[in-house]
Amino acid sequence: MSTFTPQPGAAPLHRMIAAQALMETRLLLRNGEQLLLAVVIPVVVLVGGVAGSERVGLSFSDPAVDMFTPGVLALAVMSTSFTSLAIATGFERRYGVIKRLGASPLPRSGLLGGKVLALLAVEVLQALVVGGVALALGWNPQGGPGAVVGALLTALLGTAAFASLGLFVAGALRAEATLAAANLVYLLLMAGGAVVLPRSAYGSFGSVVQWLPSGALGDGLRAALLDGHVAVLPALVLLGWTALGTALTARTFTWE
């Protein structure tokens, strides 16, 4: 038995990842801009979309709240796994946070694992908030195992795709440029990427946006929560973007 109690040394990997994930989650939720992107904007888009569609007379094949809710959930995933992650990682690189973590017992895989768990934790919070508001507005999601499997699979693939692209942006650009680029891409995809509205609302351009990660994420969640099944093509598109983003990140990302 050792003379010293507790024994010095690094904690087990799973405990280090859990501690890193908890810290990452706290940092995301304490940041006002990230909280705005994660929760406030999706809720405003949901309420405004449902109310606005009734006032201007927009008609869908399903009730407006049923049509908007999957898209807003997709928007929430995109805001956290792309925009928030890119901005936070960009400034962590600028201020040397990641470099200092590299000198700790936490391996790079543990750092990435902590960030992924933090993203998933925030996305669960987003789903609860957006889902609660949607239910209050009269949302009637499709039930059954197909809907659950389709929604979870699409959300996980969307998180992977946008997180890989967010890390690529954060690693390729300076912190200020990352801030501008991440917010610009977010706004462009929210307005024209078929994430909130179905691609049928974009006319002939809908055949193009289905190949964007935003369009695939929105299509996949709408297929799950409106039709109750897993959409294969959106899943394959998100897998393709994940592979591309991962390859680009591996080639360009530096830790300082």
Identity of residue 11: A
Q: Which H or E run contains 210?
A: none
Residue-wise pLDDT tens digits, 163-217: 999 989 988 888 889 999 999 999 999 888 889 888 888 888 888 899 999 999 9
pTM (2 d.p.): 0.87
> What per-residue confidence (pLDDT) applies to 213?
94
Q: What is the pLDDT of residues 86-127, one digit of tens each?
A: 888 888 777 777 767 666 666 666 777 777 888 888 899 999
